[in-house]
Amino acid sequence: MHAEAAGVMTGTHFLDGDHACCEGALAAGARFSAGYPITPSTEVVERFASRVPTVGGTFIQMEDELAASIAIQGAVWGGAKAFTVTSGPGFSLMMEHIGLAVMTETPCVFVDVQRGGPSTGLPTLPAQADMMQVRWGSHGDYEVIALCPNSPQECFDLTVTAFNYAEQYRCPVFVMMDEVVGHMTEKVVIPAPEQIEVTPRRYTTIPPGEFLAFHPGEDLVPDMPRTGEGYNVHVTGLTHDERGYPDMTPAMQDKLVRRLVDKIKKNADKIILYEEDQIDGADVVVLSYGITSRVAQRAIDMARKKGLKVGKFRLITAWPFPEKKIAEIAGKVKAFVVAELNLGQMVREVERAVAGKATVRFVGHAGGSVHRPEDILQAILEVAR
Amino acid sequence: MSDLTELTAHNPVEQFLRMDRIPHIWCPGCGIGTSVNSFAHALIDAKIDTKNLAIVSGIGCTGRVAGYVNQDSFHTTHGRAIPFATGLKLANPKLNVVVYSGDGDLFAIGGNHLIHAARRNVDIKVVCINNLIYAMTGGQTAPTTPGDVVTSTNPYGTYDPSFNLPYLVEAAGAVYVARWTAFHVRQLARSMQEMFAKKGFSFIEVLSPCPTLYQRRNKMGDGLDTMKFYKEVSKVRNGALTKDVALTKSGEITVGKFVDRERSDYRDLMHDQLFESLGDDYVETEACSCQ
């Protein structure tokens, strides 16, 4: 279906990434947000607080991030599309409710505008150091979907995608921005509502009494009941059967958790997004994501000018990680240069997928500024030798 | 003969329970099930539209209530039932949202959420079963445990000062505050009916025995002995000042309705402010629901 016109600010705008993200949420149909102030993400909900009363919806400022990250889940079960927005320390507080959203298959979106950590770290400066936390930060086994915009335009586009994936796969979806992407201002084109694809909630058509709340479809995802319509649904964070009733046996644990993991893993080819350029015939592939991909582009251009055969691979979904694609490229190139604003996170996934078939060179630092293109270029020159 | 069939066929509260999940996990003598019985009777007597009733629980013995009531029910994370309920109610205001949880869940790990929901006057009803202890995890000290009580984490007796729940909740802004014990089943059911009629953050504390962990460790007998104790030491004082109703190990238990007042609820406050500021640009919605 198409976006509801009320939420779509069609036109060409000059927006920063935080504001563009908010417009993406509104275009995707988000009518509820709960948030807690934290730099450098607050502008997203500030804009939502200003815009949503004129569209029809609610923003509430909660007492902390624990509250924000579960209030949105209450809103989802109340029938809304909902999201919350945060940065490092707040993201740490939200970890328990990532698990709740996974376990209860609550479609919701978390935006993390990454800053330098650990702890209070660098509140106003960028990092890409929550990339493993988003994947592993809550306890237990699970899979998530995480998207990495590299421009305000993509903050709009990928926030829409995040809501669509959340509804399609009934899981929490993450928009992993960073301080620079969040605060940089560029041209953002918002299409007409009929040009924006929006995934509707998978409401069941089975009447109450016959409906099993957690009985999956062929894609391993169950349809959702509406609250207040007589379904008397039970939603619990405990291990549960297809009725939603607690069943804390090893057999049920394995069946449920395996399905929650498989519904992402087995649909990974439909979920994974990336951008590639001149991979065929390349000696070296530069892999990056988010703001770092903008800097890496400069390094790639400089290397190409020197006559080197350099390809570009940009992760758009960090999770699920495109491991098959990376393994395939690894057989054809000499080396990967992996650039990210941390001390080595996604590079571990690259190494795992490459499995020794090519050299993997990491270029990173602990955050606070973007890379210098020269540092990435230097790595390209070294591995190309 | 047909009369006899009528008499034995149905317990009127069964319709509110997931009978396929019975027997429940609560211990003999525990007051949680007793409170659920009062709750069911309140639903019947107040003629509540149960289709729009949603129960939200946190974690712990009382947290399991959500699993036994045959309603839309949400068993959330420890301490966070209230913010979940806040999102549920604001996104879908037609729902009648009841939070049913324990003292540790609502006042320790969830204490911050509780006072803020009361401050905002979100239209949710909170039933707090207070067994004065963390029961599910084995009888540790709670923020409600009175002084000089033996718990698994205070084996030589408690010395942490405890919360007086009605005093705290009134100060935070609740429009309705009452306390009963598991002995006062009819008064509790009546109080629950009153709570359903209120708009805004409403709170009922229900003192419940935990014979397994509280009464046993403190040599206070079993569930029946606790009922006798409640009967003996409870004093109905409607309108009592909440500052005067703190609980001690063996002193008076002041019960009754302490607070019943009117304040605009969160949604009305939001609506009035937005309408005043935005005028015709304000798009008022019945619900935030998506297609």
| Residue after which a domain boundary falls, among A165, A195, A225 | A195
- Tens-binned pLDDT, residue by residue, of chain A (385 aa): 999 999 999 999 999 999 999 999 999 999 999 999 999 999 999 999 999 999 999 999 999 999 999 999 999 999 999 999 999 999 999 999 999 999 999 999 999 999 999 999 999 999 999 999 999 999 999 999 999 999 999 999 999 999 999 999 999 999 999 999 999 999 999 999 999 999 999 999 999 999 999 999 999 999 999 999 999 999 999 999 999 999 999 999 999 999 999 999 999 999 999 999 999 999 999 999 999 999 999 999 999 999 999 999 999 999 999 999 999 999 999 999 999 999 999 999 999 999 999 999 999 999 999 999 999 999 999 999 8
Smallest CA-to-CA distance from B103 within B202, B175, B32, B6 is with: B32
A319 and A180 share one domain: no
Q: Tell me if A228 is assigned to some domain.
A: no
Residues 251-270 of B with CB under 8 A from A: 270
B275 touching chain A per CB within 8 A: no
CATH, range B2-281: 3.40.50.970
B22 touching chain A per CB within 8 A: no
Residues of A in contact with B83 (CB under 8 A): 34, 62-63, 66-68, 70-71, 74
Task: Give me the residue from A54, A62, A227 closest to B72, CB to CB.
Answer: A227
pLDDT at residue B6, as a whole number: 60
| Residue after which a domain boundary falls, among A147, A168, A195 | A195
Q: Tell me if A232 is assigned to some domain.
A: no
Which CATH number do you get for residue A354?
3.40.50.920
A123 and A27 share one domain: yes
Q: Where are the alpha helices (DSSP H) in A94-231?
A: 95-104, 131-136, 152-169, 179-183
Task: Give me the residue from B56, B85, B282 closest to A53, CB to CB.
Answer: B282
A284 and A187 share one domain: no
Q: Tell me if A303 is assigned to some domain.
A: yes
Q: Letter for the amino acid at A126?
A: P
Give the integer Cα–Cα distance in Å for A28 and A351.
35
Q: Is the pTM of this model over 0.90?
A: yes
| Residue after which a domain boundary falls, among A179, A195, A211 | A195
Q: What is the nearest CA distance from B181 to chain A, expressed in angstroms?
A: 28
CB contact under 8 A, B87 and A75: yes
Q: How many Å separate Cα A201 from the centre of its chain?
A: 19
B86 touching chain A per CB within 8 A: yes
- Are the C-beta atoms of residues A79 and A226 closer than 8 Å to each other? yes
Q: What is the nearest CA distance from B267 to chain A, expressed in angstroms?
A: 10
> Domain ranges in chain B?
2-281
CB contact under 8 A, A58 and B91: yes
ipTM: 0.97
Q: Tell me if A377 is assigned to some domain.
A: yes
Give the integer Cα–Cα distance in Å for B113 and B97.
16
Residues in chain A, total: 385
Give the integer Cα–Cα distance in Å for B166 and A283.
72
- Are the C-beta atoms of residues A281 and A333 closer than 8 Å to each other? no
A51 and A155 share one domain: yes
Q: Tell me if A10 is assigned to some domain.
A: yes
Token digits of residue A201: 């909630």
Instruction: Please give the residue range of the domain that contains residue A297.
Output: 276-384
Tally of structural domains, chain A? 2
B87 touching chain A per CB within 8 A: yes
Task: Give me the residue from A56, A70, A233 closest to B80, CB to CB.
Answer: A70
Give the integer Cα–Cα distance in Å for A189 and A234.
42
